[in-house]
Chains A and B, each alone.
Chain A
Amino acid sequence: MNRRHFLRGVAGVAVALPFLETFAPRRARAAGPPPFAVFVRQANGVAQQTDDEPERFWPSALGPLTQASLAAETDRAVSVLADHADRLILVRGVGFAFPGNGCGHSGGGNQCLTAAQVSDTPSGAGSLSMGESIDNRIARELQPAGVEPLTLYAGKMAGYLDEVLSYRGAKLLRAAERNPFVAYTKLFGASAMDAEALARLKAARTSVNDLVRGEMKALMARTDLSKGDRDRLDLHFQSIRDLEVGMACNLTPMEVAAMDAIQGGVALSDNVQTITRMQMDLLALAFSCGVVRAATLQIGDGNDSTEYTINGQKQYSYHWISHRIQGDGDTGAPIDNAPELHHEIDKIHGNLFKYLLDKLASYPLPTGTLLDSGVAVWTNDLANKYHSYDDIPYVLAGSCNGLLKTGQYLDAGGVNNNKMWNTVGAAVGCTKDGKTPMDDFGDPSLAPGFIPAMMT
């Protein structure tokens, strides 16, 4: 069976739309899509200052950012984002509140977007977050029921720590899609249908859904179910959706063909940057069409073992480089120039993030661009080569229509990352009671609040 025909749209089946809407995908809707947030995650910490290594990531001075000031410091990784200086917020002084449980990478991934505690069991590399992630919180409140945050991935899954970011709730890790072609066809691939065919499809699906819902309700009515099974059936039941009609949103045939062509190589180190850019094309399209309000993109596995090519030479595993030795554990010969290589990898990630910003900024809106209407975050689940949980890097771009104060580099003063996600979540539109901006995200033991310096 030809999988090209195996298509659907999360936004529903696309109906025939006027030519410009259907075939001019980068033309954003006049009213503009609602605010959104996307979280791009790099692994293994960044080459920022430690006791024994100099600063190679942040600008030299806190305060306002200009294109000139950023571009001048070419020895700092964030300099590659100079073109977007007035849209950036660089934040240091934010960390995770809780210790890991036997595996630093896993514990970092557990807390990265959740600000929640790490599970007692499972532990080690199998540890899980004890709370939902911020993308889930945004989607749960601001997206229609049954529409999940877009959860994307780039690179290989080595089977040790794969996806780590998105949580439906305590211990409920969400799987990520690493094949851009599959992700695209699931989101936007449904071909245009005429009204009669659409009505018949809707009727057929309704008939089937009604029968299946009836079976599910009968099962859920049983009183001898464990909580785990009840939750399992409830998630399934909530996932059943009737047909909705959405806009047609498309990438160009050339872009789709490239996604199709690389399907067999999505796990290869050599393709990780290409896959990342394709996923970013998809993210920008999804936000421009208002399909989702929240998304994640994880680059590399839990302890990213991608072998990047730098200066024409394929390097050791990024994880090894981040530890400066030839090994995932504590033993291995030193890697020559490892700090510099780590810095070069930071710049690769910076340039990938710049690609996303360029893409989002290419969608014009009546006031600014798509990028200005939401916020894109480049972060990490560890801080530095020691894989610390303090001073996690946060690079944000976009103001959520003016709610975030951009063009600055600030030190949040050692706060926990729940305040970062409260700030972002509130800017996107999350509330705690339907009207008051959300300030209580994350573990209940954490002090609520925002990072005021980020807000206008």
Chain B
Amino acid sequence: MPVARPLGRGVARSSLSLLGGAALALAAVLGGGCIGKIGDPQGSGSGPDLQTQVETSRFPRLTHLQWENTVQDLLHLPAPSGLSASFTGDPLGGIFDDNEASLLVTPGLWADYQLAAEELSAQVTNDAALLAGLLPAGAPTDPAARALAFIEQVGKHAYRRPLTAAEVIRYQALFAQGKDVVDGPDDFARGVRLTLQAFLQSPYFVYRVEANRKAGEDGNIPLSAHEIATKLSYLLWNTMPDDALFTAAEGGALDTPEGILAEATRLLEDDRARATVAWFHEQLYQYDHYDDLNKDPTKFPTFSPALGADLKTEARLFIEDVVFAQGGGIREILTSRTSFVNDKLAAIYGLPGAFGGEFTRVDLDPKQRSGFLTHLGFLASNATKLEQHSIHRGVFINRRVLCAQLPDPPNNVPPLPPPTASQTNRERVDKHTGKGTCGASCHGTLINPAGFAFEHYDAIGQYQTEEKGFPIDSADTYPLGGKSITYQDAIEFDALIAESDQVHECYARSWLEYGYGRAHDDRDRDTIKELGKASRKGTKALILALTQTAAFRTRAPQKGTP
């Protein structure tokens, strides 16, 4: 099975800030247009072409995860090669690692590809079983015919379409050079070794090339059946199409939305789809922030930075359970009472009973916990080493869960005055930024109310009923869908937002960006609304809906440049 996660650095690609730049300042906030609903996307205009297709690259490059999975499947390797771990990285391009704008073949990465191709081709041709796996069943023994069978078989899978006659001839010529320039057990193996190096460095391998040029009646260009098969496979599996998908493409089964849906449904039942769903949420919810958490050892003696790995495991198991066992989606992610704990996490949750090192599915106290935002990983990674950080929690929820449009924080804002002995965290934050202050526009109406809902959870996510001897106040109001919702605590807050169009459309927007490998755009507005409706039927339904849009089946014509 392909790898579930990148073998490389595995850093979530995020644009969400923990208010990174300097302060969330008030002047910019007041004038900066805090919008309590999914804001107008940046970088696009409105006008006559509002409903036209978003122009996309015809050469989206494989991510390093996709490269790793693809070479494993192409060469039938028993395990991931691990070579992508040392590939030149890609700069951030939004939340997800597959934004086409960031995926370039640079000199460093080209050299990485070259070395990897040389390494893999040597490995495969020195292993009789792997070498045999590159030939179709019943391949001829005549050397030239055998070479041709290899070229057509592996070439088709590497290019994700059948090779043209001219391409076959070029590869036959290259194959013939192999015996003179590379080592191997015999001439056939040498030919394979050199040819594999070219397959793995070909632009048709490293890019998911969309070559079709003929426009349809609406002016957009339908993708070819093989291009749709490729798009389906990378969306759902992060790897190349399997034989059944090739067969579907070649039999015309992908020529209709219904045919695409049937194949997408099949792919979704495979374990590789679970890995894709896991990786999406890992990036969206920033599990990498669970690493290296520094908490005050005196106040939290049970917490150590090593718990970060356990927090990630909890998050991964939870999402898989919600999506695949419960058949749920963002609603359940925000409201499910189940989770997975070992002995260390059970202690922090305050769960009774005996737990060991293995993770166990548990039902958390429904009065204290409700979904992902009340789990330890989110709470502890959005806190200082001593106390909860309401602002960071609020910003995360506004940006990643609700897609509220918050401006980035400006500089030069004076700090809070020191806390007093009789002041809770909420009181201090509220006094500085809350309603009635000049920070009211963003902090007072959006950030603080969302963050304050989680005041019951301390710096490591433990449930607390009081702070400095004062009862916790987690009640507030938040503008949602043109109304104000009022809640007493995180349980109620989660339940209210989980039913909102805004949350479902936000989740759908993130899936669109990940699934289509690009930033969203004004022109996606209607698509996002439709996907938001699908989200109410669960994550799997949403993913299937992603394959049913015009944006999935066609591409906009590019304005050519000579």
Contacts and interface: CB of A to CB of B under 8 A. Distances in A.
B22 A105 contact: yes
A238 B348 CA distance: 55
A236 B197 contact: no
Contact of A226 (B20, B294, B561): B561
Contact of A229 (B22, B57, B91, B286): B57
B222 to A, nearest CB: 15
Nearest to B425: A333
Interface in A380-398: 386-388
B19 A1 contact: no
A160 B104 contact: no
B415 A325 contact: yes
B115 A7 contact: yes
Interface string B104-119: 1111111110111101
A97 to B, nearest CB: 17
Interface string A122-156: 11111000000000000000000011100000001
A133 to B, nearest CB: 13
Contacts of A179: 9, 86
Interface string A99-134: 000111110000000000000011111100000000
B384 A332 contact: yes
Interface in B64-88: 81-83, 85-86, 88
Contact of B91 (A174, A182, A186): A174
A302 interface: yes
A260 to B, nearest CB: 12
Interface in B238-294: 286, 288-289, 291-292, 294
Contacts of A230: 561
A293 interface: no
A102 B407 contact: yes
Contacts of A215: 202-204
Nearest to B416: A331
Nearest to B101: A228
How big is the B interface, by class? 35 or more
A147 B55 CA distance: 32
Contact of A104 (B22, B57, B106, B117): B22
B83 A224 contact: no
Residue from A307, A330, A333 having most chain B Cβ neighbours under 10 A: A330
Given A226-B560, A233-B59, A175 B89 contact: yes
Contacts of A125: 15, 17, 20-21, 408
Contacts of B229: none
A208 B439 contact: no
Given A3-B82, A233-B59, A386 B416 contact: no
Interface in A206-238: 207-208, 211-212, 214-216, 219, 222-230, 232-233, 235-236, 238
Main secondary structure of the interface of B (DSSP, over half): loop
Contact of B16 (A103, A105, A160, A211): A160
Contacts of A175: 88-91, 106, 108
Residue from B25, B109, B114 having most chain A Cβ neighbours under 10 A: B114
Nearest to A105: B21
Interface stretch (B137-145, B176-184, B475-483, B489-497): B176-184
Given A163-B91, A215-B202, A5 B119 contact: yes
Contact of B86 (A174, A185, A200, A333): A185
B58 interface: yes
B304 interface: no
B54 to A, nearest CB: 12
Interface string B6-34: 00010111111111111111101000000
A125 B560 CA distance: 32
B391 interface: yes
Nearest to B117: A208
Nearest to B206: A236
Contact of A212 (B58, B203, B409): B203
Contact of A160 (B20, B43, B410): B20
Nearest to A223: B560
B123 A162 contact: no
Contact of B110 (A122, A124, A239): A239
B292 A229 contact: no
B412 to A, nearest CB: 5
A432 interface: no
A239 B389 CA distance: 46
B20 A319 contact: yes
A25 interface: no
A8 interface: yes
Contact of B432 (A239, A267, A331, A386): A331
B170 interface: yes
Nearest to A235: B104
Nearest to A160: B20
A236 B419 contact: no
A83 interface: no
Interface string B330-349: 00000000000000000000
Given A162-B91, A208-B194, A331-B433, A323 B22 contact: yes
A51 to B, nearest CB: 11
Contact of A6 (B59, B83, B432, B433): B83
A105 B115 contact: no
B422 to A, nearest CB: 15
Given A182-B86, A186-B86, A333-B418, A207 B20 contact: no
Nearest to A226: B558
Given A214-B170, A233-B59, A330-B439, A207 B91 contact: no
A235 B61 CA distance: 13
A159 interface: yes
Interface in A417-436: none
A123 B409 contact: no
B58 A229 contact: yes
A126 B20 contact: no
Interface in B97-154: 104-112, 114-117, 119, 123
A103 B170 contact: no
A269 B292 contact: yes
A102 B19 CA distance: 11
B162 interface: no
B46 interface: no
A148 B88 CA distance: 12
Contact of B111 (A103, A163, A186): A186
A342 to B, nearest CB: 14
Interface string A25-62: 00000000000000000000000000000000000000
24 contacts: A3-B86, A102-B410, A103-B17, A105-B20, A122-B42, A125-B21, A126-B15, A158-B288, A159-B92, A160-B15, A160-B20, A163-B91, A174-B91, A179-B9, A186-B108, A224-B213, A232-B57, A232-B104, A236-B104, A330-B415, A331-B415, A331-B428, A331-B432, A333-B419
